[in-house]
Structure 1
Amino acid sequence: MANHRVNLKQIKLHYQHALPNQMVTAVVVLDHNLRICYVNPAAEALLVKSFNKLYRLTIAQVFYNTPINTRRLEQLLTTGQEFSDSDVTIEFFDHRQITVEITASSVTFEQCPHILLEFKQIDQQKQISDEAFQQQQWESARDLIRGLAHEIKNPLGGLRGAAQLLDKELNIEQREYTAMIIEQADRLTDLVDRLLGPNQLPIMKTQNIHIVLEKVFKLTQFDNPKNITLVRDYDPSIPEITFDQDKLQQTLINIVHNAMQVLQNQHSITLKTRAANNKTINGKRIKLCAQISIIDDGPGIPEHIQSTLFYPMVSGRAAGTGLGLSICQTIIHQHQGKLYCKSRPGRTEFTILLPFNSEN
């Protein structure tokens, strides 16, 4: 074991000496068998593993899902023609994902062909850009819907009032029609009110976030005809934060119920909390916040609606109104927080970030 450590240290020093100009970006060197023979400190930080643990592993043993396929790497060794990919999402076995730019080139060490992979992480820049665009689009869609809702609501009131006046002049048989008009006017008014979103500001109170999660957990257990497994994964060290208990409960129940409607037996939903640091919320860098995740192992959200998921009237279900998640987004914005979703077949994760009191 001691000799193995010495050898790895010598190997590491050898590549560090041979690669003096590639130490800023994350660098991974593969031998002709496509096994890792060196990673620099930046790559160790990116992969969250030491060189000792990565040595002699293949790419498939490091990443759960990656577009870097063996055929392209073998072709690189044969032809020497380098390639690069931008905006590449790589997933690890613990479901952590990173977005990187990758450059692959052919190099020679000790007269043997090697592959040099350079990774530049672009998660933060991409996230800020995507969030700014989605925030702008969401606000534009919300304002448009609210404007239309007001235009619809005003004549609805007049329609209902006219039907009530007419009802007094008709006989019993004809009143059936005015009753139908009033009923449908009330139904449309209720829909318009939901389109306008919450009309009350949140009542903020400093309390433990897990109080709400436990209520959601128990309510979901009582209404669980499909016997979906509910899992709690809490971080008890999270301090109290300021939030509206009823509104946050409404948001969580809405997300959990959406998941339950698409899941079948033997599937699961996990309620998870963590303390998260250095997060970007609405363009601001937040040092510390509470992170609530609702994770399911269902079919995932259709890719074509993921970017507009929180817009009003957008739904992935045939019978859905597309209002629930839009209202959830509004509630979290009232808390100066952030709500977003990442989904693929087999894993959908809704994440809520709420700044700690000093940030809020």
Structure 2
Amino acid sequence: MIEKLEYLLDSLATAVIVIDDKLRICYANLSAQSVLELSDNQLVGFPVSQFISHDSLSLDRLGAALKSHEGFSDSEILLAFCDGRHILADVTVTCFERNNSEGLSIEVKAIDQQKRISQESQQWAQQQAARELVRGLAHEIKNPLGGIRGAAQLLEKQLHSFELEEFTQVIIEQSDRLSNLVDRLLGPNSPPNFQWCNIHQVLEKIRTLVQLDSAYNIEIQRDYDPSIPDMKIDQDMLQQAVLNMVRNSVQVLSEQTYPGEILIKSRIKRQLTIHGVKHPLVAQIKVIDNGPGIPEEIKDTLFYPMVTGKSNGTGLGLSIAQTLIDHHRGKIDVESWPGHTEFKIYLPIDKKESTS
């Protein structure tokens, strides 16, 4: 009977963890082993606190449930594991009593995938609408700016007073400044120049550029996947996109009192859907820092133009990065919590046609 019960539990997509009255793991089905990324032998007999952070699933609350014999349910919990991973999950805790012993059954249903797809679709539509709005406004601003600058230049020729010419110079300089800002809002105005190359060459250029800046005492580490094949990309566009993210991390870390660390990491992902299109192979580039995290109030609008969490930021770097990655049919995701921010770029890997 017990074997049949375990067989049924192992067939569930929901992770099930059974703990005793000492909060030690008695059983974990296959889904739970997959979520925790540990085998049954590595889990059974060990305290649940050894694997799941106290902050995300309160041990005090589990202890209270045992005493009161009342379970509880929570939706959309950011479940933190002690190895640093996070998942979004619905959690249900149920009390039980068997053979004069008490325990708890913890059901964990990961909802990262469906929530991420839903959020991605919604945010993509919002970003596209915001981008079109900004483009329309930028064009409307740029046309009169040219007229203002030209009028100031004509007026300057008619003036014979150095003091008055200073005012026309201010008009010209400020018009140029606004024109440059509008150009940045519009993004790149040239089509991509796609060529086959190794993305790690691009990442190494970025690492070298940042390390040469001795103004910041920030350690930049790398963890590359050598199995990623050559990809058809615009090297300048990809370099600018990743560099914007690395510089964003550098600026945030430079304001902290503790040592700053940035990790540039590459991996291959399989069968990944990007903007509704499923790709067999995708290159993932991560820029990870140990900064304070992204403020909660700007997380959902982080890639919108003029949105920034920095006092001296323009809010254009990530917006431009998003546009550049869009040219590659890719996407950018971000995960952040205090002490950890992770930007993830996904780029489809096309099959290189044989030239023979």
TM-score range, shorter chain: over 0.9
Aligned to 2:97: 108
Structure 2 unmatched ranges of 5 or more: none
Separation in 1, partners of 2:41, 2:6: 19
User: Cα distance 1:187–1:293, how it changes in 2: closer, same or farther (>3 A)?
Assistant: same
User: Cα distance 1:63–1:291, how it changes in 2: closer, same or farther (>3 A)?
Assistant: same
Separation in 1, partners of 2:93, 2:278: 32
Which of 317, 322, 326 does residue 329 from structure 1 map onto? 322
Which of 268, 280, 289 does residue 261 from structure 2 map onto? 268
Shift of 1:278: 3.1
CA deviations over 1:47-100 (Å, ceiling 9, x no partner): 211111001122211124653212221222222222111111212233222221
User: Cα distance 1:85–1:285, how it changes in 2: closer, same or farther (>3 A)?
Assistant: farther
Decide whether the 8 Å contact of 2:57 with 2:79 is kept in 1: no
CA deviations over 1:316-354 (Å, ceiling 9, x no partner): 111111111100000011110111211122111111111
TM (norm. structure 1) is 0.91
TM (norm. structure 2) is 0.92
Separation in 1, partners of 2:122, 2:237: 26
Decide whether the 8 Å contact of 2:56 with 2:80 is kept in 1: no
Decide whether the 8 Å contact of 1:254 with 1:324 is kept in 2: yes
Aligned-residue RMSD, C-alpha: 1.9
- Give aligned-pair identity as a percent: 48
Which of 50, 60, 77 does residue 71 from structure 1 map onto? 60
1:1-360 equivalences under 5 Å are: 14=2, 17=5, 20=8, 23-24=11-12, 25-64=14-53, 66-173=55-162, 174-264=164-254, 266-358=259-351
Decide whether the 8 Å contact of 1:341 with 1:349 is kept in 2: yes
Shift of 1:223: 0.9
Decide whether the 8 Å contact of 2:9 with 2:16 is kept in 1: no
Q: Secondary structure at the match of 2:96?
A: strand
CA deviations over 1:250-303 (Å, ceiling 9, x no partner): 111111111111214621111111112233321333332111111111222212
CA deviations over 1:138-164 (Å, ceiling 9, x no partner): 112212211211111111111111112
User: Cα distance 1:280–1:93, how it changes in 2: closer, same or farther (>3 A)?
Assistant: farther
Q: Aligned AA for 2:95? A: S
Structure 1 unmatched ranges of 5 or more: 1-12
Q: Secondary structure at the match of 1:129?
A: helix
Separation in 1, partners of 2:295, 2:214: 24
Could you list the structure 1 runs, at least 4 aligned residues long, displaced by more than 6 angstroms after superposition.
none
Separation in 1, partners of 2:98, 2:278: 43
Q: Secondary structure at the match of 1:339?
A: strand
Separation in 2, partners of 1:21, 1:96: 24
Separation in 2, partners of 1:107, 1:286: 45
User: Cα distance 1:286–1:95, how it changes in 2: closer, same or farther (>3 A)?
Assistant: farther
